[in-house]
């Protein structure tokens, strides 16, 4: 009887714990839907083809956000071109080449510290290094490199964890067949870890797509109704544009609907990026299974 009562108590406490976890999860999802619903309700009225494809006019109180959309796309692509190779190669070195010891622990601690630095500090560093010292000026190149630095820690850790999840038997089998370590990494390890690596990259891009402070110091323009001609030009960007029309301007009541519309477009872009990440993940998973 005592054993049976103990089992009932354990099952009861387990049900209570699971119910609490389920309730917390539902609360998180509910908060997300409330935020999305509020943005959609406030911003859907401003969304139109003209709003998406035209430039801002009348002191930010009219027109659209096309230059900001293009500028955000340029910054995301530029940061990915910098962060992806640097972060992936660093993760490969830490997991495959570096001797397990103080060096790897030190690099890992520094990477964690780097990922915890506020984004405004990255902006000040990018302004000092890329804008002033290297002479890039306020440009897409300076902004992309600064945002790339912001992405690198997350890509490094994601790559390292993805490679750790691959069993050592795959490496040993490849080496037993005569492949070199580099061939093993390139043809066996990387394809198997690529789905998780791609996920890390997309998460990093989702973070930088909404950053305002780094681009404020390195590339963002207050009002630039034409598209940039080169990577050394300034550009508009959705996060900074949203900040500007929400906090300053000649007619705040006229700008507020545009601010909600801009926020909705930014959320939709992040959603599309995440959907693309899922499609790429499934593609690489199929390739790994077929090979």
Per-residue pLDDT tens over the stretch 255-287: 788 888 888 888 888 888 878 777 777 777 777
* C-beta contacts of 254-260 below 8 A and 24+ residues apart: 254/61, 254/62, 255/60, 255/61, 257/42, 257/43, 257/45, 257/46, 258/46, 258/51, 258/60, 258/61, 258/65, 260/39, 260/42, 260/43, 260/46
Residue, of 187 and 142, whose pLDDT is higher: 142
Q: Total domain count for the chain?
A: 1
Distances (CA, A) of 33 to 27, 38, 85, 126, 258: 10, 8, 35, 35, 21
CATH number reported for the structural domain that contains residue 126 in this entry: 1.10.3720.10
Per-residue pLDDT tens over the stretch 52-101: 888 887 766 777 888 888 888 899 889 989 988 998 898 888 888 877 77
Per-residue pLDDT tens over the stretch 208-264: 888 888 888 898 877 777 888 888 888 888 888 888 888 776 667 777 888 888 888
Is pLDDT above 70 for 3?
no
Q: What is the value of pTM for the model shown?
A: 0.84
Whether residue 113 lies inside any domain: the answer is yes
Whether residue 282 lies inside any domain: the answer is yes
Whether residue 28 lies inside any domain: the answer is no
Whether residue 11 lies inside any domain: the answer is no
Whether residue 36 lies inside any domain: the answer is no
Give me the domain span that covers residue 122: 47-288
Whether residue 167 lies inside any domain: the answer is yes
CA 104 – CA 110 distance, rounded (Å): 10
């Amino acid at each position: 009887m005592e054993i049976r009562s103990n089992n009932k108590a354990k099952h009861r406490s387990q049900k209570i714990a699971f119910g609490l976890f389920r309730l917390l999860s539902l609360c998180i999802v509910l908060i997300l839907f409330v935020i999305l619903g509020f943005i959609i309700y406030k911003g859907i009225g401003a969304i139109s083809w003209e709003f998406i494809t035209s430039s801002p006019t009348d002191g930010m109180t009219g027109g659209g956000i096309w230059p900001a959309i293009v500028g955000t796309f340029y910054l995301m692509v530029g940061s990915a071109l910098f962060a992806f190779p640097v972060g992936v190669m660093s993760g490969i070195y830490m997991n495959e080449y570096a001797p397990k010891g103080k060096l790897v622990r030190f690099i890992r601690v520094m990477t964690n510290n780097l990922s915890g630095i506020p984004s405004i500090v990255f902006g000040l560093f990018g302004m000092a290094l890329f804008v002033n010292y290297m002479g890039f000026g306020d440009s897409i190149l300076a902004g992309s490199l600064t945002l790339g630095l912001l992405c690198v820690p997350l890509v490094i850790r994601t790559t390292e964890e993805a490679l750790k999840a691959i069993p050592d038997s795959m490496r040993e089998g490849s080496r037993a067949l005569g492949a070199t370590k580099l061939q093993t990494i390139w043809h066996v390890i990387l394809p198997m870890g690529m789905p998780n690596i791609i996920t890390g990259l997309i998460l990093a891009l989702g973070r930088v797509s909404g950053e305002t402070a780094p681009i404020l110091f390195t590339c963002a323009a207050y009002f630039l109704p034409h598209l940039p001609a080169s990577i050394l030009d300034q550009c508009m960007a959705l996060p900074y544009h949203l900040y500007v029309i929400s906090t300053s301007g000649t007619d705040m009541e006229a700008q507020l609907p545009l601010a909600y519309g801009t926020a909705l477009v930014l959320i939709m872009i992040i959603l599309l990026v995440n959907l693309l990440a899922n499609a790429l993940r499934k593609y690489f998973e199929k390739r790994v299974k077929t090979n």
